[in-house]
Each structure stands twice: as C-alpha cells, then as structure tokens.
Structure 1
Amino acid sequence: MKLTNYLLLLTFSLLLLAGCDDGFLVQTNGNELNKELFWKDKTDAKKGIIATYSQLQADGRWGWFENHYIAQNYRSDLIRATRKDLPFAQKIAGFTFTSDNKAFSDLWEDYYNGIFYANQVIENVPQIPELSNSDKEQFVAEAKFLRGYYYLNLVTLFKNIPLVTSVPQNSDDYYAEQASPEKVWDQIIADFKVAKNTLPASYSVEDKGRATKWAAQGYLGKAYMFLHDFDKADDEFKNIIDNGGFSLLSNFTDNFNGSGENGAESLFEIQHSSKRPNGFTESTPLYNEQAPGIMGGWEEFFPADWLFNRMMEDTTASGELSDRVMGTVFFDHPNSTADGIAYADIKSDLGSEKRFYKKYLYSNDISDGNTTRSGMNVHLMRYADILLLYAEALNELGQTGQAIPYVNQVRQRSGSADLSSSMSQSQLRNHLRHVERPVEFAMEFGIRWFDLARWKKGNLSIKSILTNHGKPDAANFEEGKHELYPIPLSEINKNAKLEQNSGY
C-alpha cells in the first residue's frame, strides 16, 4: 500500500474531491459521485478506502507538517519552537493563537474530509453486488477504524464538534450542529469495536500498512484510557500483548530509519513514500524541519531543556546514556551522530542552537536527492506504547507491582536501568508521566499532548506541567481555554449552528 495505488487515489480524487469546497464537508450536487458510474466493483471500493487513508497525510508534505504536526505537537512541553518564519506556528507554541489560525482550519478540514470519505465507503460498499460479504465487511470495518481515529483526534483537540455518520444529503446535513463529547466518544468506541472484531490480524506484503484488528484494539484501549475506564483498557492491551505477536525492535533507531517500517513493533503508521509518479508526492519534510542548518535543515524545533536534562539521567546500570537517548537527540557527545555525521565534525559550524532532535533524520529514502521529500513512515502507535499504556492502566487499578515489569521491558530494550520493584503507585504514575513516556516518545507525532489531555481529565493541571517544565510562554496558557483549540473561524462563519469554545 505504501508504494502503489497512486492512480487509484488520483481517480477517486478527481471524482470525489473536486466536488468539495471550503465549507464544512460541502459538496456541490453537480459533482457528487454518480452511483451508476461508481461504487460498481472492488476497484471502486479500494479507491474509496485509499481516499479515506489519504487524509492521514494531509494536503501533501507541507500540509502534514504545518497543519498536523505543528497543531498536535507544538503546544507540548517536549518542543521548543523559537524560529519566527512560521508566525502561525509560533502562536500555537506560545498560546497566543486565535480562531483564524490556518493550522486549525486545515486540520479540521482534513479530518472531516477523512470522515466524509469513510461515510461514503460505509454506505456504498455494501451495495456493490460483486463483492463477497467478507470483502464488504472488511472495507466497512476499515472505514470505521479510520473514522474513529479522525474523531478521536477532533474531539481531543476541539472537544465540541459535529458528529456526522452518514453522507450529507441536504444543507442541514452539511451544516451539522455540535454533538456532546460523550456521544462522540460513544461513536469512537463503537467504530473501534467493529474494526477490532472484523479486520484481519495481518495482510500480505503488498497491503502492509492497512489497519489491522490489533491497531483497532490498540486505539480502543487508548480511547478507554481517555475515559479513565482502566479495567476495559487493561483487557484490550493485555490481549494485544498475549496474542498480537508484537515485539520491541532490538535497535531503537530502527523505528525511525526505515528498516523497521510496518514491522514487529508497529501497530499503525502513516504510509509515506519518496516516489513521485506524475509529480504526486506522499513524502514529508520532517528531515529538514529538525536538522541543523549545516546539514541543510531549517531548525524549526528543538528538544525542550527539561527533557534533555531528563534524558541525561536515562542511563544504563553502568552509567552510560541509553540507546533511546542516543537515538533521539543530536548533541555534544563523542558518540553522537545524525545521518552518519558526527556531532564533533560540525560542532564549530553550529549557530546558537546546540541540541537537535534526530528521529526520522535519515536520508536513505528521499526523492531526487531532496531531503524535503523523505519517504520515512511516521509512527502513530508502537508496541512500546501498548506496553506503557498497559502498565499505566495496571498502576491506576492499584496493581503497581504487576505494572513495573512492563515498563522495564521498554527500558531494557534501550539498555536503561530497571526501575525498582518497590515503587509506589504515585511514584510510578509520576515516572510514567514525567520520565518514561516523554523520553521514549519524544517528538513523536500526536502522543505527548494527547497524554496531557487525558491526564487533564484526572484533574492534572496542564499549565502547572508546562510551567514546571520551563515551557516558553507557559505564562500565556489560560486554564479553561488553552486545553482546547478554538473552533476554526472559517467554520463558525459558514455554519451558524456552531458555538465557539470557551474563551475564544
């Protein structure tokens, strides 16, 4: 799926996407898909599901970074973003954003487009005569998984959102009112359950990267974690651990250098490629966004100082830095390298910034020698996340002694010294929140802020964490406001039924 199907996606886009204007899921009648011409066979079903996946990549490589990555990562305490070339990004990082920020409108549109495509598949695929029942069920379950994923993101980032589960038929359907967050979460759970019970456990080589039952079960467990339903989350994660056949890659960096893509540690990834048939691109500019200027990078964001200090404490039993630290940051250390370049060799050429992230900083899969076109997949869920979420659920259920070995599994892979088996529940909770998960998943897409958001439901103060961790401009964070993004102004202007989030 990673390297093929461009023409299928392009065909579907011409038929479907051209009909969408800038409004909320608006499609002019003259451009709607004609069921007499489309939704006729398995090829059409595949085009539909590929279009649904396509919104994971956003609108090309720039759209994914500037809208999805920045919107999901820049608010967190793991990122220090100081460059002024992207003012909208600086406003997100500094909590001075308003409802007209382009990242919000583009992110909203991308995810609702994905939901619209999913609903097309869900409604139309069952009516294709030539498809077997098992094929119909699988396509529908795949679409429901993706719809659940898009809604999980939307409800976490915006909270008060429309819930659209069918293809709009009139203006009232197009401009839907906001549903209660509880109703949205119910739909997310229902979609993930269908996907878990229907999708296959694995695919052939040519279809690797498509959502499996394990991906659905992982996200179902994560949804339960947001709802603090730890008993149910525990069951989902334990089943993956016992029966999913996943394992941690022996080399931490293989998660990010291309060699471990869709491999033993991967539950779900955004499929990228450096190939460019007919100029179509599915790549990312993540290499340049994080690389030092001397390596052709733009130095858009850096490791937060508190996180770097915490990483310097993540050591082996003999006191050496762990493999995950060496695989995450590029810094002044005799063994530190990035994309085959030793830090010592460029140290004298660096500007004011001296520490850099290096996950995905590999040029072995790029297009035309251009590092802005990296084909590295981006992880959405790793097995390490399952292990740590399971440990967190166990700990919240009062089973701290049973939880610690699962944390140590993750630590042992990188050579980090084991945690003491005598840790208390509060000690392990603090460790997971302020050490283990930040160090393991530093700069990875869509993890840290979502962690903070779900802990906020347990009365954790995000502002306090940002302040204690030295987040620049944390003083600008207003409690009761900045936990959520505003509903995009463009959507408010088009849909009179939408109400703005508090404080905006």
Structure 2
Amino acid sequence: MKNIKFYIPILIAAFVMTSTRCSEDLLDIENPNTPTVESFWKTEQDAEMGLNAAYNMFYKPSTWTRWIYFRYDLTSDEGHSTSPWGELADWTRFKYSNYNFWDGNNWHWRDFYKAIFRTNQVLTYVPAIPFDEARRDRILAQARFIRALYYFQIALLWEDAPIVLEISKPDDQPEQRTEAEIWAQVEEDLNWAKDRLPEKWDDPNMGRATKGAAKALLARAYAQQKKYPEAKAELDWLVVGDGKQYYGLIDNYRENFTHNFENNIESVFEIQFSDRNKGNDSDNLSASMGFQRTQFFAPGGIGWQDGKARAWLIDEYKKEKTKDGKNDSRLLTNIFYKQAYKDFPDAANNDTLVYNRQWNNVDWGNETFIKKYSTYYYRDREDYHAPNNFRFIRYADVLLLYAEMLNETNQTADAYQYVNMVRERPSTNLPRLEDAYPEIGTDYNLFKKRLQMERSLELCFEAVRWMDLKRWDLLTTQAGIDELRTRDIDFNNFTVGRNHRLPIPQVEVDNNEHLDQNNPY
C-alpha cells in the first residue's frame, strides 16, 4: 500500500501587469489557482506543499521513472540497448554525436536542476514561516536530503557543474564548480540533515527521507571519494549502531521488487510509485506516478525491449550452487532467458514463463531480458504505470558497502559476516563466502574482486552499477576497461579519460559564458 504520494507541485510565479487603457485596480486581481510568491509560503501547509513539489521530481521520465536506468544500468556492463531508436541505443554505447540528445543528457541536466530549484525554494522561504521549530527542521532536512541526492547524480554523471544554492532566475549564468566542490556540498547538506531527520516515520508519511537514508547516501558519497573511514562511520549506525533495529533482510529476495511488500525492513530509501493516476508526464493533478522502466525493458510484444541483460550474468549465477544443490534463485528473479525452465524445474507459480507465455523462439531467440521490477507476476503485459516502488537504497546494499569499507580499512576478516548475511538469505541460501572461496583469506585484492561480483549478483539492474564501476576505477583505467570489454562489447567504444563522464549539454555551454564543455568533448 502506498502511504504517501508526493503530488503535483504548486507552481510559484509572479506576474506584473500594466496597461494604459485600464485601471490598475481592475487588473490587480489574484487568481486563487495560481498563487504567487507573495501569497504563498505563509503556513506550515505551504511548507509541506513546497517540499512535496521537490519529492514530485522523482516522477519525471528523466529521473527515476524512466531514462536514468539507461545510463546507470544499460551503459554499465550489466545491460545494453538494442533499441530501434538509434540515438538512444548509441547513447548507451558511448557514441555521443549529439551532446544535446534530450532523452540521454539534456533532460537529466534540466530536471536535476529543476529539482534543486524546488529544494532551494523550500530552504529559502520556509525558515521565515512561523511554526514548530522541530517540524520546520524536518522539512528543511528533507529538502537538503533531496538537494544532496540530485547533486550526487550531477557529480557522478558530469563531475564539473554549477552549484546553485539560491532561487535561480532565467537569466542567471552560474559558475562552473569542480567535482570536489560538488561532493563537498553533498556532504554539507547530508551532515546537516541526518540528525534532524526522524529515525522512522509513521505510516501516513512512509516514504519520506529518514536519518538512515541520509547516512546511507552520505556513506555512498564518501565512498565515491575514497573517504573510506568516513563512509564506514556513517554505515556503523545502520549496521552495528542504534539504527540497526530498523533494518534487516527479508526472507524472500524476489519480494523486494514487487508492489506487494513495499517499505519493508530492507528498504532504506524507496521511491513511491503508483498506478493510481494514468495520465501523462506533465505537472498536473492527473499526471502519472507510475514506474515506466518496465515498459521499456520488457520483451517485444509485452514492452518495447529497449533494454536487455548481458548474458555473462547468467553464467556467473550458475557458477555456484546453493546449500541444497540448486541454482541461485536470484537469477530467476532478475533475468528472463530461454533456458530458465531447465535451470529451475521446480519453480512455483509458473515463474519460468514470461508473463504467462512460453518462450517466443521466433521473436526472442536467445535474448536475455531484464526481469527485475517487471510486473509479470500479476499481469500479461507492461504499460507506463507500473506500481512497483523503486528501492533506491536497500539494506543488502548497505551491508555489502559496509563489507567493502571494512576491507578498505584493513579489516577484511571482519567483512565476511556482512557478505554472508546477504548470501545466506533464506531464498538465496548460498554457502558462506569463506567456504565457497577459501583461497581469498584476508587478501585485500582477492576479497575486493570477489565483492565486486557479489554486488552485481545481488544488486544488478538497481541503478548502482555505474557508481560502483567508477568507484572501483574500472572506468578510469585502461586495465579496468579491458576487463569490462570481456563482459560487454560496447566498451570497445569507450575512450579512457573521456567516457567516464558525460558531455555537458551543449545548449547549456552555449548559453552560459561561465560554463566550459567537459574536456576532451
């Protein structure tokens, strides 16, 4: 059940009207349906509505509704695109001929800064509204969390970009800042927010940012900068500290990606999707709040099949058997493939079928489709309104990142237990890591390399792989690219020193004299 929905924002606009023919009094009439800055931002309810406008940016095709997964999942070695829309497919193959490609670049940039604009409105106007200080701080902390979340994406995708902390105007030309400065802003916002956010919300407010979400996102930011002790310190609260009481792993891995068991103990931060409204993508009360990725990743005849899984993942899953001698059930959850019925002969509820269909040999051949988050378990085709919440940060991710930080801080022996918690989940049921790979021991490099694969097998197609590859220097070294090429032929197009970040939309560079195109684009 969706407990909170961040509905369409109040649009704040100021209009000045003059006329030589009419009395100013006749024109000076407020439209109650179009509040102005002067008439809005007066009450606690206004503050909440302004904050909801910032949350609402999650429901845009450029953010977590649709296109972001083409960048984070399909451009990584886990996925690829065979879209008949050539420019879209090329954008996942590191072929950037048009820096103004809307769906792969400009819309991300525009809407990330649009979300930041909305948080800046909250942070500017809400402090002057008289109401309970603790409630006001919770609103401001959520705004800071959301702003940090978007600056995180900007640092990850473009690296050098403007930092805008005030309410922007159409003619502003903000200065370009360095990646390090953007990370510093992420840290500042999350450090301010983390102790002002509640550890847990009541049911009507489920889905809002919490202290644990802020700490987990801050840990991600520290880890990306290789500030490993700082990242570990933030994760301590969730894994071994007071926050541990709120989190855990659910028994059935599969249910993390359906709409049946949302906001469970494994959820650290979850974007709340719904099929309640089946409108378009605009800013109005009937706009869609559905998860659209499933429509683009489903097999042909069911969806658009623009995004597909790389087959090497199937081989990796099958390298190990469970404690009772079976294949890893995460494979069945995450990928549609032709031989699934052979690999999982005792699968329940026709789970080896594809939306209750036998494999279409003519149209699908030996393709491998992304199954995670699809709605095959209750309907026979996809649309633009899937109700599944997107688990932005799962506790399994936290545990594996914590193990990584322990390894990075010379505590490899202590890291095993947190990997094993994920491997020994009842539905996964794999042997302990030290039993399966005794040769690793406490060797830093061997543990790190195995952990990289553990993260992919647990977290594939959850929009974290690009972040991981970048943190591990696999996108910034020739050795890293050579490794990725063995799994994904698209990396034959990758140029070291160039494709680890996106070009800034050229229209932004052309219109802002303080903005330089990312070198060597």
User: Would you say same fold, with TM above 0.5?
Assistant: yes
**In the alignment, which residue of structure 1 is the partner of 2:306?**
300
Offset, 1:233? 1.0
Aligned residue identity for 1:346: Q
Q: Distance in 1 between matches of 2:74 and 2:15?
A: 32
Moved over 6 A (4+): 336-339
- Distance in structure 1 (CA, Å) of the matches to 2:294 and 2:348: 11
**Deviation digits for residues 399-432 of structure 1, max 9, x if unmatched?**
1110011111111111122111625211110011
Q: How does 1:7-86 map to 2 (within 5 A)?
A: 9-10=7-8, 12=10, 14-15=11-12, 34-59=36-61, 64=64, 66-84=66-84, 86=85
Distance (Å, rounded) in 1 between the aligned partners of 2:276 and 2:500: 38
1:102-251 counterparts in 2 under 5 A? 102=102, 103-129=104-130, 131-168=131-168, 171=171, 174-242=172-240, 243-244=242-243, 245-251=246-252
The answer on 1:439 being equivalent to 2:436 is no
Which is worse superposed, 489-498 or 143-152? Answer: 489-498
> 1:416 — aligned with what?
430
Contact 1:338 1:358 in 2 (8 A): no
Tell me how far 1:80 sits from its aligned partner.
2.4
Shift of 1:326: 2.1
Cα distance change on mapping 1:32 and 1:168 into 2, 3 Å: farther
Aligned amino acid, residue 267 of structure 2:
S
- Contact kept, 8 Å, 1:404 with 1:419, in 2: the verdict is yes
Change (3 A) 1:354 1:323: same
Instruction: Note the alpha carbon deviations across 1:102-158, whole angstroms, 9 max, x for none.
Output: 1210001111011111111011111112x2111111111110011111001001100
Unmatched segments (≥5 aa) in structure 1 = 20-30
Identity of aligned residues (%): 29
Hey, what's the Cα distance between the residues in 2 that align with 1:233 and 1:454? 13
Residue 359 (structure 1) aligned with residue 372 (structure 2): yes
Select 1:280's aligned residue among 278, 287, 291: 287
| CA deviation after TM superposition for structure 1 residue 87, in Å | 2.3
Q: Contact 1:287/1:297 (CA < 8 Å) preserved in 2?
A: yes
Which residue in 2 is equivalent to 1:497?
514
State the SS of the aligned residue for 2:177: coil
* One-letter amino acid matched to 2:128: Q
Aligned partners of 2:119 and 2:146 also within 8 Å: yes
Q: How does 1:285-434 map to 2 (within 5 A)?
A: 285-294=292-301, 296-331=302-337, 332-334=339-341, 335=344, 340=350, 342-343=352-353, 346-349=358-361, 350-362=363-375, 371-413=383-425, 414-420=428-434, 422-433=441-452
CA 1:339–1:363: 2 relative to 1, 3 Å: farther
Q: RMSD in angstroms over aligned alpha carbons?
A: 2.8
Cα 1:194–1:264 change in 2 (3 A) is same
**Residues 341 and 384 from structure 1, CA distance in 2 versus in 1: closer, same or farther, beyond 3 angstroms?**
closer
Distance 1:428 1:32, change over 3 A: farther
SS in 1 for 2:364: coil
TM-score, normalised relative to structure 1:
0.88
For residues 173-218 of structure 1, the C-alpha deviation after alignment (integer angstroms, 9 at most, x for no partner) is x210111222111111011111111100111111100000000000
Judged with a 3 Å threshold, the aligned counterparts in structure 2 of structure 1 residues 145 and 457 are, in CA distance, closer, same or farther, namely farther
CA distance in 2, matches of 1:293, 1:475: 27
Determine the C-alpha separation between the residues in 2 that align with 1:380 and 1:486: 25
Partners of 1:488 and 1:35 in 2: how far apart? Answer: 30
**Aligned partners of 2:258 and 2:164: how far apart in 1?**
38
1:432-483 Cα deviation digits (max 9, x unpaired) = 12x10111111112x00011112229965442232122x1232211111000
Report how far residue 93 of structure 1 moved.
1.7
Match of 1:27 in 2: none
Alpha-carbon distance change, 348 to 169 in structure 1, aligned in 2, over 3 angstroms = closer
Q: 1:216 to 1:16 in 2, by over 3 A?
A: farther
Secondary structure class of the residue paired with 2:402:
helix
Question: What TM-score does the superposition give when structure 2 sets the normalisation length?
Answer: 0.86
| Structure 2 stretches lacking a partner, 5+ long | 17-32, 279-284
Q: Is the 8 A contact 1:67 1:104 kept in 2?
A: no
Tell me the distance in 2 between the aligned counterparts of 1:18 and 1:252: 52
1:38 & 1:425 partners in 2: Cα distance? 56
- Structure with higher Rg: it is 2
Structure 1 counterpart SS, 2:513: coil
Alpha-carbon offset, residue 370 of structure 1: 6.0
What code does the residue aligned with 1:234 have?
A: K
- CA separation in 2, counterparts of 1:114 and 1:185? 17
Instruction: Pick closer, same or farther for the CA change 1:163–1:351 going to 2, 3 Å.
Output: same
Distance 2:68 2:93 in 1: 17
Q: 1:24 corresponds to which residue? A: none
Question: Aligned equivalents of 2:442 and 2:497: distance in 1?
Answer: 33
Q: Report the CA distance between 1:502 and its aligned residue.
A: 1.1
Which has the larger displacement, 244-253 or 68-77?
68-77
Quick one: structure 1 residues 487 and 354, their matched pair in 2 at CA, closer, same or farther if it must change by over 3 Å?
closer
Residue number among 459, 467, 471 corresponding to 1:450 in the alignment: 467
Question: In structure 2, what is the Cα distance between the partners aligned to 1:150 and 1:323?
Answer: 34
Q: Secondary structure at the match of 2:122?
A: helix
- What letter is aligned with 2:319? E
- Once the two structures are TM-superposed, the CA of residue 255 in structure 1 deviates from its matched residue by 0.3
Q: Counterparts of 2:270 and 2:320 in 1: how far apart (Å)? A: 27
What one-letter code is carried by the residue in structure 1 that aligns with 2:507? S
Q: Provide closer, same or farther for how the CA distance between residues 370 and 325 of structure 1 changes in structure 2, counting only shifts above 3 A.
A: closer
> Per-residue deviation at 1:64?
4.7
Q: Identify if the C-alpha distance between structure 1 residues 222 and 196 changes in structure 2 by more than 3 Å, giving closer, same or farther.
A: same
Give, in whole Å, the separation in 2 of the partners of 1:147 and 1:138: 14
- Indicate the structure with greater helix content: 1
Find the aligned partners of 2:65 and 2:334 in 1 and give their Cα distance.
19
2:282 alignment counterpart? none
1:166 maps to amino acid: E
